[in-house]
Chains A and B, each alone.
Chain A
Amino acid sequence: MTPFSRRAFATAAAASLLAGCGGHPARRTTAAPSSGRRPPPTPGKAARPLGRSVPVGLRIPAIGVDTPVIRLGLAPDGSVAVPPVTAHDRAGWYRHSPTPGQLGPSVILGHVTVGAYGDGVFRHLARLRRGDRVEARLENGTAAQFDVSAVRTVAKADFPADEVYGNVDRPELRLITCGGPRSGDGYLDNVIVFATLTSAGP
């Protein structure tokens, strides 16, 4: 074998290796959120209910969330609509639920992942722990402060609609995203954070 044929062979082999390695980029892997099954919210001292004012922002310092909040309704199939899948993912308030601080369960949803765009705004929601602070900024300029009372990971097939949407005797907040193992292009579980109003301020 002459030096040139050796070089040609080496070039071909190197190019084949490069092409073979690049053809299958590593898939994003998600660690299943630590399904911190916690007891249902326990009664505690809650602040007085606020008047109705639509949420415009949400801040959760413990997991680095500071996002605008859009309004969500129902999808044509009767399920709750979710925020659009965009690069700048936002949270959404379910507009048929009370506004944050009103008496009842105010429901805010966000994606855990947004497909090719990567992490969603609620990517680390399952990391929240009891006592973590959640702040909802309202349209009237005030902010409702909530304390996390429970974090649950539940199978979508057993979604606890009554616990999430059912009546309560104080202002509460529900933060919902997906979690658990993946199935096709979705997730099998939901992560639900229960929080209680503790104070309100400007």
Chain B
Amino acid sequence: MRRTVLSAMTLACTAVLATTVPAFADDATPAPRRTPAASASPVPSEAPTRKPTAAAQAPREEPAKKRDRGQVAVVPKGAPNTGVTDESSGSSGTESALIGGGAAAVLAAGGAAVLVVRRRRATGA
């Protein structure tokens, strides 16, 4: 009887550890995460950690060469960065932590219930 209880407890503890470790490992790093705030930087995909500047309607502009008779008065440099992919663990990290925590709570509750039932049975209640 005691051995069965002990083995159940060991199994439960192992499962709790196994579930919590990946959940925290996914989001524990203090690596800068892109914050999809309303005031995004003008070049979000290249500099996700850049301090948000003013709204895109009124960006600071550096002096750029002007074409004298060009229909486009100022030709921008390079190619536009008009795509931000969902590679950051912004939501998935939180999701994993929640799932891991929930599973751990379920396991702990299950283990406690088993223990209570065992003790009651052992005492002959």
A28 — nearest CB in chain B belongs to which residue?
B86
Chain B residue, CB-CB nearest to A167: B71
- Knowing A2-B4, A8-B110, A84-B39 are in contact, say whether A70-B57 is a contact too (CB < 8 A): yes
B106 contact set on A, CB distance < 8 A: 11, 15
- A96 with B74: CB separation less than 8 A: yes
Known: A76-B42, A104-B71, A165-B75. A12 touches B82 (CB 8 A): no
Whether B34 lies near A115 (C-beta < 8 A) is yes
With known contacts A5-B8, A78-B62, A113–B79 Cβ distance under 8 A = no
**Cβ of B81: which chain A residues have Cβ within 8 Å of it?**
79, 82, 178, 186
- A 108-133 contacts with B by CB, 8 A: 109-118, 120, 122
Q: Are A92 and B76 in contact (CB under 8 A)?
A: no
CB-CB contacts below 8 Å: A87-108 with B: 92, 94, 96-98, 102-105, 107
Main secondary structure of the interface of B (DSSP, over half): loop
Give the shortest distance, in Å, between A201 (CB) and chain B (any CB). 23
User: Is A58 among interface residues, defined by CB-CB distance under 8 A?
Assistant: no
Residue among A7, A8, A111, A185 making CB contact with B82, cutoff 8 Å: A111
A185 touches B88 (CB 8 A): yes
Q: Are A185 and B23 in contact (CB under 8 A)?
A: no
For the complex formed, measure the closest distance between the CB of B7 and the CB atoms of chain A, giving whole angstroms: 7
Would A22 and B46 count as touching, CB distance under 8 A?
no
CB distance from B104 to the nearest CB of A (A): 8
Which residues from chain B contact A116 at a C-beta distance below 8 Å?
Answer: 34, 36, 86, 88, 90-91
A27 within 8 A of B: yes
Question: Which residue of A has the minimal Cβ distance to B99?
Answer: A22
Residue pair B83, A187 in contact (C-beta under 8 Å): yes
Q: Which residues of A contact B (CB under 8 A)?
A: 1-2, 4-5, 7-9, 11-13, 15-16, 18-20, 22-25, 27-28, 30, 70-86, 92, 94, 96-98, 102-105, 107, 109-118, 120, 122, 156-157, 159, 161, 165-168, 176-179, 182, 184-187, 190
Given A72-B57, A76-B61, A115-B44, 4 further pairs, Cβ under 8 A: A15-B15, A82-B44, A115-B84, A116-B86
Tell me the B residues contacting A by CB distance below 8 Å.
Answer: 4-5, 7-8, 11-12, 14-15, 18-19, 22-23, 26, 34, 36-40, 42-46, 48, 53, 55-62, 64, 69-88, 90-92, 95-96, 99-100, 102-104, 106-107, 110-111, 114, 117-118
